[in-house]
Amino acid sequence: MAMLEVKNLGISFGGLRAVDGFEMQIEKGQLYGLIGPNGAGKTTVFNMLTGVYKPDDGSIVLDGKDITGKKTIDINKAGIARTFQNIRLFKDQSVLDNVKVGLHNHHTYSTLTGILRLPKYFKVEAEMNKKAMELLKVFDLEDEADYLASNLPYGKQRKLEIARALATEPKLLLLDEPAAGMNPNETKELMDTIRFVRDEFDMTILLIEHDMKLVSGICEKLTVLNFGQVLASGNTSDVLNNPQVIKAYLGE
């Protein structure tokens, strides 16, 4: 069975049908791309997948479990983590702590344990530090571990957001325009990182991106959204050669 099965998903804002009859199937371990013109509804799909918006209709099934309309927290616990189109870091916390917040639900001790500094506190904190540093290393951020997140350059902030999402140990990782604002070299590096994450963590990844180099470089499958509806879907090369897609999205 597919890792993620989305059926007939739809949502309206006032009179605007932002997403309509959206379908998608992602297999475990896939690197999947969601592309489409500006305002097509890609971010809105992410928002429905993660419970930020409640879909008006349709269903979302993750790993056999129906998560339609659930709250963001529960969806995260069920196994979806994401990054945001406009970066949302915990700006006044250190880079390390940003990741440790991500580890929140998997390395626990009670508040009282924390206040009283019982032995468990030290044990779990040490685990968390180790785990967080491992994650930071993947993204080449270990040297900046004690910087304030807001002091990182843009590209590194995007990477940190991915690291934080990964820390929640998701089954499915959603990335919203991870390469936006990066120059070609940084984008190349990012592509390697995403591939590494997929292989190393055995992750399923769904990403939104306008950078065609990245999309064609790493995505195995694509779905194209246009005006809220699926325009095309399938293997990357097929989709990218689809005349309709070229007309609506790629140009020339």
Partner 1 sequence: MAMLEIKDLEVYYGVIQAIKGISFDVNEGEVIALIGANGAGKTTTLQTITGMLSAKKGSILFEGTDITKVPGHKIVSMGMAHVPEGRRVFAELSVYENLKLGAYTRKDKQEIAESLERVYKSFPRLKERKNQLAGTLSGGEQQMLAMGRALMSKPRIILMDEPSMGLSPIFVEEIFNIIKEISASGTTVLLVEQNAKKALSIADRAYVLETGKIVLSGDAKELMNNESIKKAYLGE
Partner 2 sequence: MSKMNLKTMKKTTKSNLITYAMVIVIFAVVQILVATGSMSSLMQGLLVPLCTYSIVAIGLNLCVGYLGELSLGHAGFMCVGAFSSAFFTRCMENSSMNPTLRFIIALLIGTAVAAFFGFLIGIPVLRLRGDYLAIVTLAFGEIIKNVINVLYVGKDENGLHFAINDSKSLNMSGTGEMIIDGAKGITGTPRQSTFLIGVILILVALFVVFNLVNSRSGRAIMAIRDNRIAAESVGINITKFKLMAFTISAAIAGAGGVLYAHNLSSLIAQPANFGYNMSIMILVFVVLGGMGNFRGSIIAAVVLTMLPEVLRGLRDYRMLIYAVVLIAMMLFNWAPAAITWRQTHSLKNLFAKKTKEVQ
Partner 3 sequence: MRFITYLINGISLGSIYAIIALGYTMVYGIAKMLNFAHGDVIMIGCYVVFMTMSGMNMNPLLSVILAVVVCTVLGVIIEKVAYKPLRKASPLAVLITAIGVSYLLQNIALLIFGADTKSFSSVVPLQNIKIGGITITGVTVVAVLACIVIMIGLMIFIKKTKAGQAMLAVSEDKDAAQLMGVNVNGTISLTFAIGSGLAAIAGVLLCSAYPTLTPYTGSMPGIKAFTAAVFGGIGSIPGAFIGGILLGIIEILGKAYISSQLSDAIVFAVLIIVLLVKPTGILGKPIHEKV
Ligand X SMILES: Nc1ncnc2c1ncn2[C@@H]1O[C@H](COP(=O)(O)OP(=O)(O)OP(=O)(O)O)[C@@H](O)[C@H]1O
Interacting residues toward ligand X by CB under 6 A:
13, 16, 18, 36, 38-44, 85, 153-154
Q: Cβ of residue 217: shortest distance to partner 1, in angstroms?
A: 11
124 near partner 3, judged by CB under 8 A: no
Burial grade of 113 (CB within 10 A; 0-12, 13-18, 19 or more): middle
Residues contacting Mg ion: total by CB under 5 A = 2
- Strands 204-208 vs 31-35: parallel, antiparallel or unpaired: parallel
Q: Cβ of residue 6: shortest distance to partner 2, in angstroms?
A: 18
Looking at the DSSP bridge assignments, the partners of residue 235 are 221
Q: Cβ of residue 47: shortest distance to partner 3, in angstroms?
A: 5
244 near partner 1, judged by CB under 8 A: no
* SS3 (DSSP) at 17: strand
Tokens 């991106």, residue? 209
Tokens 């995007």, residue? 158
Q: Which distant-in-sequence residues (6+ apart) come within 8 Å of 18 by Cβ?
A: 11, 12, 41, 44, 228
Binding site for partner 2 (CB under 8 A): 50, 52, 71-73, 76-77, 81-82, 84, 88-94, 96-97, 100-102, 104-105, 107-109, 111, 113-117, 121, 124-126, 128-130, 133, 142-143, 145-146, 148, 164-165, 167-168
